[in-house]
Amino acid sequence: MTIPAFDLLKPGSVAEASEMLLEHGDEARPIAGGTTLVILMKQRALRFSHLVDLQSIPGLERITDNDDGLSIGALATHRSVERSPLVQRRAPALAQAFSHVGNVRIRETASVGGNLAHADYRLDPPPALLVHGAEVVLAGAEGTRVVALKDFYRGMYETVLEPGEILVEVRVPHAAPAARTVYSRFSSLSANDWPCIGVAALLSLDNGNVGELALGLSGVAEAPLLAAGLERFQGESCSEELWDAVCDVVDEQLSPVSDLRGSADYKREMTRVWVRRTLRELAS
């Protein structure tokens, strides 16, 4: 399969890229790693006369540690996040989640921003970012705005990105020192396959009782999901009964899609299994 002819535009800045996107409208798309976009264009499922190459903008691939959190440039590759000592120290679950995506060749190319903006419902990194309370920085002609990742998704393959807007940075606030995080991926078919579901959890304990609790999920709704309403468990003591209660609250928020990796019912049941396992692991 070949890719239909297109013009590759090389902006020198985000503002220029944004202008290019606005100028060409639906005929243009930004390209970062291209691991998904190129396949879709080769399949002729998507067609763009212009691609705006974000790799030509300097500095978008940096990963830095600021006082309040990590800043991950949208053009950072999956591999660079997975291997970053900063990320491994500050947000181990995040490094873990990125290490699961595709294979090493994909991870060397695929960008963090592309992963998020593609808004696939069953990717590994979003749940881990969600439990950290990550925000995305969106830059457009009108300036930049910061959106919580949980509010970034609008549905299957849909985000709040406006025409001309580009995801340029992901901000990952540092978790409290007492908080522990983990990402569990469940593959129902080949080990290398997309996950059936993914569960990330953040839990801090206060004298054996629940302090901060967050659960991020993928594969169980039209978009990655940060479970709501978990504050009510603060102060409760960790127990199997408590985890069951958490699972009940989570379950109400699921709207799984049946796909090749599992039926909606199966995904619902697996979410229960993996939420419980993940919390058990963090509480132990």
Partner 1 sequence: MADYSIVGRPVDRRDAVQKVTGRVLHVGNMEPAGLLHVAVLRSPHPHARIVRIDKSRAEAAPGVAAVLTGADIAAMPGITPYHGPAFADQPVLAIDRVRHEGEQVVAVAAESRRAAEEALELVEVEYEPLPVVLDVLDAIKPDAPIVHDEIRPSGAFADLAHVKAGERSNICYHYKLRKGDVDKAFAEADRIFEDVFTAPPAQHVPMEAHVSLAYVDEGGRINIHTASQSPSFVRGELARMLGVPMNRIRVRVPYLGGGYGAKLYNKLEPIVALLAMKTGRPVKYSLSREEEFQTVTKHGVVVKLKTAVKGSAMTARKCEVYWDTGAFAEIGPRIVHKSGYTSSGPYKIPNVSIDSYCVYTNKPPAGPFRGFGVPQVIWAYDSQMDIVARGLGADPVEFRLEHALEEGDLFVTGTPIHACGLKEAVRRAADAVGWDQPKAPASGSKRRGKGIACGVKAVLTPSISGAIVILNADGSANVLSSTVEMGQGSESLLAQIAAEELGMPFDRVHVVQPDTDVTPYDTISAGSRSTYHMGNAVRMAAAKVKEELFQAVAGKLEIDAADLESRDGRVFVRGAEERGMTVTEAFLAKFGSLGTTMVGEGLCQPVVTPMDPETGMSEKCTEYWFASASAVEVEVDTETGRLEVLQFHAAGDAGTAINPKYCEQQLVGAATMHLGLTLFEQMVFQDGQLLNGSLLDYQIASIKDVPAACHPIVVEVPHKDGPFGAKGIGETGALTVAAAVANALEDAVGVRVRDIPLTAERIHEALKAARKVNGGT
Binding site for partner 1 (CB under 8 A): 1-5, 39, 43-44, 186-193, 196, 260, 262-263, 266, 269-270, 273
Q: Give which of 170, 174, 173 is closest to 60, Cα–Cα.
A: 170
**Of 48 and 152, CB closest to partner 1:** 48
Choice between 145 and 268, CB closer to partner 1: 268
CB of 141 to partner 1, least distance (A): 34
Among residues 216 and 262, whose Cβ is nearest to partner 1? 262
Query: Please, what is the minimum distance in Å from the beta carbon of residue 218 to partner 1?
Result: 16
CB of 19 to partner 1, least distance (A): 29
Taking every pair of C-alpha atoms in the chain, what is the biggest distance, in angstroms? Answer: 62
Task: Considering the complex, state which of residue 205 and residue 266 has its C-beta at the smaller distance from partner 1.
Answer: 266
Q: Where are the beta strands (DSSP E) in 81-208?
A: 135-140, 143-148, 153-155, 158-159, 166-173, 179-186, 197-206
- In the complex, least distance from residue 58 CB atom to partner 1, rounded to whole angstroms: 32
Distance (Å, whole) CA 19 – CA 266: 45
What is the nearest approach in angstroms of partner 1 to the Cβ of residue 192?
A: 4
Distance CA 35, CA 236 (A): 44
State how far the Cα of 249 lies from the Cα of 89, in Å rounded to an integer: 31
Task: State CA 250 to chain mean position distance.
Answer: 19
Report the alpha-carbon distance of residue 162 to residue 83 in Å, rounded. Answer: 32
Q: How many helices and strands, by DSSP H and E, does the chain display?
A: 11, 14
Which of 70, 238 has the CB closer to partner 1?
A: 238
